[in-house]
Amino acid sequence: MKLCLKPTIIPFKLEGQVVLRFNGQYAKIPDPHGAIWEFATALDGSAPFETLINQVAERHPAVDQEDLRSVAQDLIRYRLVESPDAFETTSLSDHDRNRFSRNIDFFGSMAAVGENKFSSQEKLRAARVCVLGCGGLGTHILFDLVALGVHHLTILDFDKIELSNLNRQILYKESDIGMPKVETARRRLLEFNSHLDITAHETRLESAQDVARVVSGHDIVICVADKPANYMADWLNEACVQEGVPFISGGLDVRRSVFYSVVPGSSGCGACWLTSARNKSSLVNSISTMAKQHDITYRHPGPALVTLVAVTAGMMVSETVKILTGCQPPQLTNKLKEFTFDDLDVGIAEVWQQNPDCPVCGHLANSQQLSVQTETV
DSSP 182-237: HHHHHHHHHHH-TT-EEEEEE----SHHHHHHHHTT-SEEEE---SSTTTHHHHHH
Judge whether residue 82 has pLDDT over 70: yes
Average pLDDT over residues 116-137: 97
Instruction: Quote the CA–CA distance of 145 and 124 in Å, as a whole number.
Output: 9
Q: In angstroms, rounded to a whole number, what is the distance separating the alpha carbons of residues 339 and 103?
A: 25
Please tell me the distance from the alpha carbon of residue 132 to that of residue 202, in angstroms, as a whole number: 11
Distance set, CA 139 to CA 136, 211, 223, 252, 340 (Å): 6, 20, 12, 14, 21
CA 295, chain centre distance (Å): 33
Question: Residue 294's pLDDT is what?
Answer: 60
Contact 114, 83 (CB under 8 A): yes
Q: Residue 252: which pLDDT band, with cuts at 50, 70 and 90?
A: very high
Q: What is the pTM of this model?
A: 0.92
**What's the whole-number mean pLDDT along residues 151-155?**
98
pLDDT (average), residues 339-352: 96
Model pLDDT, residue 114 = 87
For 44, phi and psi rounded to 5 degrees? -120, 10
Find the mean pLDDT for residues 60-87: 92
How confident is the model at residue 371, as a pLDDT?
45
Q: What is the pLDDT of residue 87?
A: 78
**Residue 374 scores a pLDDT above 90:** no
CA distances from 64 to 33, 34, 83, 213, 323 (A): 11, 13, 24, 66, 44
Which of 97-101, 275-279, 293-297, 366-370 reaches the highest mean pLDDT? 97-101
265: left (phi over 0), alpha (psi -120 to 50) or beta: left
In this structure, what are the phi and psi dihedrals at residue 359, rounded to the nearest 5 degrees? Answer: -70, -15
Check whether 287 has a pLDDT greater than 80.
Answer: no
Distance, CA of 72 to CA of 50 (rounded, Å): 9
- The answer to whether the Cα torsion of 164, 167, 172, 174 is positive or negative is positive
- The stretch 307-331 carries a mean pLDDT of 98
For the chain, the C-alpha Rg in angstroms (whole number) is: 25
State the pLDDT at residue 178: 98
* Mean pLDDT for all residues in the chain: 92
Instruction: Give the pLDDT band of residue 368 (cuts 50, 70, 90).
Output: low
> Could you tell me the domains of the chain?
2-82 (3.90.930.60), 88-121 (no CATH), 127-371 (3.40.50.720)
* pLDDT at residue 293 tops 70: no
Letter for the amino acid at 154?
A: T
Confidence at residue 194, expressed as pLDDT on a 0 to 100 scale = 96
Q: Please give the distance of CA 102 from its chain centroid, rounded to a whole number.
A: 16
Share of residues in the chain with pLDDT > 70 (%)? 94
Q: 176-220: per-residue pLDDT in tens?
A: 999 999 999 999 999 999 999 999 999 999 999 999 999 999 999
